[in-house]
Amino acid sequence: GAGVSQSPSNKVTEKGKDVELRCDPISGHTALYWYRQSLGQGLEFLIYFQGNSAPDKSGLPSDRFSAERTGGSVSTLTIQRTQQEDSAVYLCASSFLPRIETQYFGPGTRLLVL
């Protein structure tokens, strides 16, 4: 079956521009997570969705970061006014209740801010 997909796979942008990253979770997975993988910081949790609501946004690093999920499926992570320190690989994962602790990851979007 289809796994978690993310687009674009690579994104190069200029400092100050906005970017949108997309995640399609595995069909039927109600839980969706965003993580960031950057040099020196390892893998960091950003935000968690259960259905369309986000009960845990504690990992978003600043108010330039936001995310939404519609129809209990696709999610978009938006970074406004990008900075060079936003350069990283953004990973999306999904999981299925009740085995919510097992998360399946997408291939990631590699973001480079020049």
Partner 1 sequence: GNSVTQMEGPVTLSEEAFLTINCTYTATGYPSLFWYVQYPGEGLQLLLKATKADDKGSNKGFEATYRKETTSFHLEKGSVQVSDSAVYFCALSVLNSGYSTLTFGKGTMLLVSP
Residues near partner 1 (CB under 8 A) are 4, 31, 33, 35, 42-43, 45, 48, 50, 55-56, 59, 91, 93, 100-108
Hunting for tokens 């999904």 — which residue is that?
94
Based on CB atoms, which residue is closest to partner 1, 12 or 15?
12
- In the complex, what is the shortest distance from the CB of residue 38 to partner 1, in angstroms, rounded to a whole number? 11
Are the CB atoms for 6 and 77 separated by under 8 Å? no
- In the complex, what is the shortest distance from the CB of residue 105 to partner 1, in angstroms, rounded to a whole number? 4
How distant, in Å, are the alpha carbons of 1, 25, 99, 109 from that of 37? 26, 19, 24, 10
- A 10 A CB-CB count for 18 gives 11
- In the complex, what is the shortest distance from the CB of residue 14 to partner 1, in angstroms, rounded to a whole number? 26
Based on CB atoms, which residue is closest to partner 1, 7 or 50?
50
Based on CB atoms, which residue is closest to partner 1, 12 or 100?
100
How distant, in Å, are the alpha carbons of 53, 103, 112, 114 from that of 57? 10, 18, 23, 27
